Amino acid sequence: MKLPKSFYNWTSIVGTSIAITAFFLIVFFFCVSVLFNQGGSYLGLVIYIVLPIVMIIGMLLIPIGMIIQIRRRNKQLFISEGMKWPKVDLNDQKHRNAFTLFVIVSFIFLFLSSIGSYEAFVYSESNQFCGTLCHSVMEPEYTTYQKSAHARVACVECHVGEGADWFVRSKLSGLYQVYAVTTNNFPRPIPTPIANLRPAQETCEHCHWPEKFYSKRTKFQRNFLTDKNNTEWNITQLMKIGPDHHTQQLSEGIHWHINPDIKIEFMSADDKNEFIQWVKYTNLKTGEVHIYEDMMMEPDSTFYADAKLRTMDCMDCHNRPSHVYLSPPDYIDEYLAAGKIDKSLPFIKMAAMEALKDSYFTKDSANLMIAQKVKEYYATNHPDIAKDKADDILTSIEKIKEAYHQNSFPEMRVKWDVYPNHKGHLESNGCFRCHDNYHSTKDGRVISKDCNLCHIITEQGKPDSLQHALYGKQLEFKHPIDIGTDWKDYNCTDCHAYLYP
């Protein structure tokens, strides 16, 4: 088949070969990925983004080559008459061939590219793409996500909204992120709160909504102490999430804050909302208003000038619905409870805590140091155990490392205290940011720290001597090791945030 003379030039021919090769590679890789269900995120990147770009470049080279060719041939004419558009004459066999070819190829191209761009869209919204492509950057989030209650909820359901504006916004910020990763110019750790995360109304409330009734929930927790027997200490709590009907009064429970008739606003001195100094409660039905100020750290005029007002929503308690980084005592307890670390090995919790006290800066150095410190701990403090149980100690070391890598990510500088969890009060102040008995209105109404406000303890103690509460009653908290009344007089964080810095 003959084509116009201008087609026969190196640029156009090279362009054609590039386009055809890219096209067949796309088809080939596509078949591989479909037939063998293989390839992972990198193949997706190649099929839907890299090769199509190469193909388009190839196709653009064709007309570019032709134009250069025409210009070169008609140089003389150009000088005398100026630029002229080429004449397309369908009576000419060559022109007709070129025209038919152009129409057919364009048609196939448009058809395929509509499928391709849809696939590229689906691919760029996939968990694979978000979670594994820039592996080391997203490793902390992806690892913890896979263990969370939301492991089947796509990243984009929480992180990207619906509609064209969110689409454009997320792809633009995505482009910037690709640039940041390729130039190795991104923050470690990734800062939170994420400035452009969608409001909770558009994310969480798609699937969970405030009007939905949540009843109380039993929370059962197994802790292990750092003594010879790794003594187990259990706590069962009834979390008062939903309303509680008494004969006298109605108490609404924890989700009272998101009751649609109520608005809680607050201001904090820092952008992580760790130090909340001013809280305002408005009852939208009755118009009742209370303003609480922190008596321990009284807000002054510079505070009011700088602080931003925020209305409380799900995220102010559930800021870690998907990426939960546990602290060393918590993840070692988890492993002991699950039997992954043998709890009959004397002092293993203590040894693990000794090894996990320090911060490590790479995975390799963590592996090395954890092994070394556990061995060292036994060798210096319990040489007999070190000798008799050498194999058990080695097995446990492997598990301690494994637990560490599920929760600490030294390359990204991520661990439990970098992203404090606001739901609770043990290792970061969470609820006690407001509920500390020191946030008070002018007339002395405080945000309560009463231990039975949010939960009641129904069981506590060692498994063989567990204390039980009578039905509907609660136990007074007993701290697992004797610290007198310190647990009442101080915040839990005053010790627990510093046990394993």
Asked if 371 and 354 touch (Cβ cutoff 8 Å), the reply is no
Answer yes or no whether residue 61 interacts with ligand HEC by CB under 6 A. Answer: no
- For residue 6, the tally of other CB atoms under 10 A from its CB is 21
- Cis amide leading into 260 (omega within 30): no
At its nearest, how many Å lie between ligand HEC and the CB of residue 285? Answer: 15
Task: Please name which of 73, 54, 84, 85 lies closest in space to residue 8, comparing C-alpha atoms.
Answer: 73
Answer yes or no whether residue 461 interacts with ligand HEC by CB under 6 A. Answer: no
At its nearest, how many Å lie between ligand HEC and the CB of residue 66? Answer: 45
Task: Please name which of 400, 378, 397, 394 lies closest in space to residue 333, comparing C-alpha atoms.
Answer: 400
Residue whose pair of structure tokens reads 């190795």 in the numeric block: 184
Which one of residues 94, 147, 150, 363 is an interface residue with ligand HEC (CB under 6 A)?
A: 150
Answer yes or no whether residue 158 interacts with ligand HEC by CB under 6 A. Answer: yes
For 288-353, list the strands marked E by DSSP.
289-294, 309-311
Answer yes or no whether residue 127 interacts with ligand HEC by CB under 6 A. Answer: yes
Task: Please name which of 242, 270, 292, 311 lies closest in space to residue 436, comparing C-alpha atoms.
Answer: 292
Of the pair 78, 142, the CB lying nearest ligand HEC is at 142
Asked if 306 and 460 touch (Cβ cutoff 8 Å), the reply is no
Of the pair 6, 407, the CB lying nearest ligand HEC is at 407
Asked if 224 and 231 touch (Cβ cutoff 8 Å), the reply is yes
At its nearest, how many Å lie between ligand HEC and the CB of residue 273? Answer: 8
At its nearest, how many Å lie between ligand HEC and the CB of residue 250? Answer: 8
Which one of residues 426, 438, 440, 469 is an interface residue with ligand HEC (CB under 6 A)?
A: 426
* Residue 292 φ then ψ, to 5°: -110, 135
Answer yes or no whether residue 255 interacts with ligand HEC by CB under 6 A. Answer: yes
Residue whose pair of structure tokens reads 């190196």 in the numeric block: 10
Answer yes or no whether residue 214 interacts with ligand HEC by CB under 6 A. Answer: yes
Answer yes or no whether residue 235 interacts with ligand HEC by CB under 6 A. Answer: yes
Answer yes or no whether residue 410 interacts with ligand HEC by CB under 6 A. Answer: no
Which one of residues 170, 322, 396, 408 is an interface residue with ligand HEC (CB under 6 A)?
A: 322
Long-range contacts (CB closer than 8 Å, 24 or more residues apart) made by 190-199:
190/137, 190/412, 192/272, 192/319, 192/419, 193/271, 193/272, 193/273, 193/315, 193/319, 196/169, 197/158, 197/159, 197/315, 198/158, 198/159, 198/160, 198/161, 198/166, 199/313
Answer yes or no whether residue 408 interacts with ligand HEC by CB under 6 A. Answer: no
Of the pair 15, 44, the CB lying nearest ligand HEC is at 44
Which one of residues 343, 389, 401, 455 is an interface residue with ligand HEC (CB under 6 A)?
A: 455
Answer yes or no whether residue 130 interacts with ligand HEC by CB under 6 A. Answer: yes
Of the pair 241, 370, the CB lying nearest ligand HEC is at 241
Burial bucket for residue 473 (CB in 10 Å: 0-12, 13-18, 19+): exposed
Which one of residues 39, 63, 174, 480 is an interface residue with ligand HEC (CB under 6 A)?
A: 480
Q: Are strands 262-268 and 276-283 parallel, antiparallel or unpaired?
A: antiparallel
Query: How many positions of this chain bind ligand HEC (CB under 6 A)?
Result: 96
Answer yes or no whether residue 141 interacts with ligand HEC by CB under 6 A. Answer: yes
At its nearest, how many Å lie between ligand HEC and the CB of residue 361? Answer: 18
Which one of residues 133, 316, 332, 406 is an interface residue with ligand HEC (CB under 6 A)?
A: 316
Judged by CB under 6 A, the stretch of 58-66, 80-88, 162-170, 191-199 that binds ligand HEC is 191-199
Answer yes or no whether residue 282 interacts with ligand HEC by CB under 6 A. Answer: no
Residues 486, 98: Cα–Cα separation, whole Å: 88
Which one of residues 29, 78, 167, 256 is an interface residue with ligand HEC (CB under 6 A)?
A: 256
Terminal Cα distance for the chain, rounded? 76
**Alpha carbon 246 to chain centroid distance?**
40
Judged by CB under 6 A, the stretch of 33-41, 71-79, 134-142, 383-391 that binds ligand HEC is 134-142
Judged by CB under 6 A, the stretch of 188-196, 295-303, 382-390, 402-410 that binds ligand HEC is 188-196
Which one of residues 425, 458, 475, 500 is an interface residue with ligand HEC (CB under 6 A)?
A: 425
Query: In 201-235, which positions are buried (b, 16+ CB within 10 angstroms) versus exposed (e)?
Result: eebbbeeeebeeeeebeeeeebbbbbeeebbbbbb
Which one of residues 7, 48, 123, 233 is an interface residue with ligand HEC (CB under 6 A)?
A: 233
Which one of residues 50, 56, 67, 190 is an interface residue with ligand HEC (CB under 6 A)?
A: 190
Of the pair 11, 192, the CB lying nearest ligand HEC is at 192
Which strand (E) or helix (H) includes residue 356?
Answer: helix 348-356
Which one of residues 15, 52, 131, 410 is an interface residue with ligand HEC (CB under 6 A)?
A: 131
Burial bucket for residue 99 (CB in 10 Å: 0-12, 13-18, 19+): middle
Judged by CB under 6 A, the stretch of 35-43, 361-369, 384-392, 487-495 that binds ligand HEC is 487-495
The region, left, alpha or beta by phi > 0 then psi within -120 to 50, assigned to residue 40 is: left
Beta-bridge mates of residue 364: none
Binding to ligand HEC in span 323-342, by CB under 6 A: 323, 329
Binding to ligand HEC in span 21-60, by CB under 6 A: none
Of the pair 10, 42, the CB lying nearest ligand HEC is at 42
